[in-house]
A = this chain, B = another copy of it.
Amino acid sequence: MTADIVSGVTQPPPRPRKRSATRSVTLSDVAAASGVSAQTVSRVVRDPLSVSDETRARVQAALTATGYVPNLAASNLASNRSRTVAALVPQINASVFADTVHAFSTALAAHGYQIFVGTTDYRPEHEEEVLRSFLGRRPDGLLMVGTRHTPGTLTLLGAAGVPVVETWGWSEDPVDLLVGFSNAAAAAAMVGHLVERGRRRITFAGRHTSGDPRAAERLDGYTRAVRDLLGSEPRTVDAGPEPVTMDTGVALLDLALERHPDSDAVMFSSDVFAAGALQACVRRGIDVPGTLALAGFGDFELARHLVPALTTVAVPSARIGELSAELLLMRMRGAPVDVPHRDVGYRVVAREST
Query: A92, B82: Cβ atoms under 8 Å?
Result: no
A91-114 interface code vs B (CB 8 A; 1 in, 0 out)? 111010011011001000000001
A134-171 interface code vs B (CB 8 A; 1 in, 0 out)? 11111000000000000000011001110000000000
A19 and B77 alpha carbons, distance in the complex (Å): 12
* Contact partners of A80 in chain B: CB under 8 A: 19-22
Closest residue of chain B to A96, judged by CB?
A: B93
Query: B102, A136: Cβ atoms under 8 Å?
Result: no
* Contact partners of A122 in chain B: CB under 8 A: none
A23 and B7 alpha carbons, distance in the complex (Å): 39
Interface positions, chain A 73-100, Cβ under 8 Å from B, are 73-77, 80, 82, 91-93, 95, 98-99
A119 and B108 alpha carbons, distance in the complex (Å): 13
Interface positions, chain A 204-258, Cβ under 8 Å from B, are 245-247, 250
* Contact partners of A57 in chain B: CB under 8 A: none
Query: B9, A245: Cβ atoms under 8 Å?
Result: no
Copies of this chain, complex-wide, total: 2
User: Which residues of A are in contact with B by a Cβ distance under 8 Å?
Assistant: 6-9, 19-24, 67, 69-77, 80, 82, 91-93, 95, 98-99, 101-102, 105, 114, 116-117, 119, 132-138, 155-156, 159-161, 245-247, 250, 275-276, 279-280, 282-283, 301-302, 305-307
Q: Could you pull out 23 A-B pairs where Cβ atoms are within 8 angstroms?
A: A22-B80, A24-B138, A24-B160, A69-B132, A69-B160, A71-B138, A72-B138, A73-B74, A73-B77, A73-B138, A92-B98, A93-B98, A93-B99, A93-B102, A114-B134, A116-B116, A117-B117, A246-B301, A275-B305, A276-B305, A279-B306, A279-B307, A302-B302
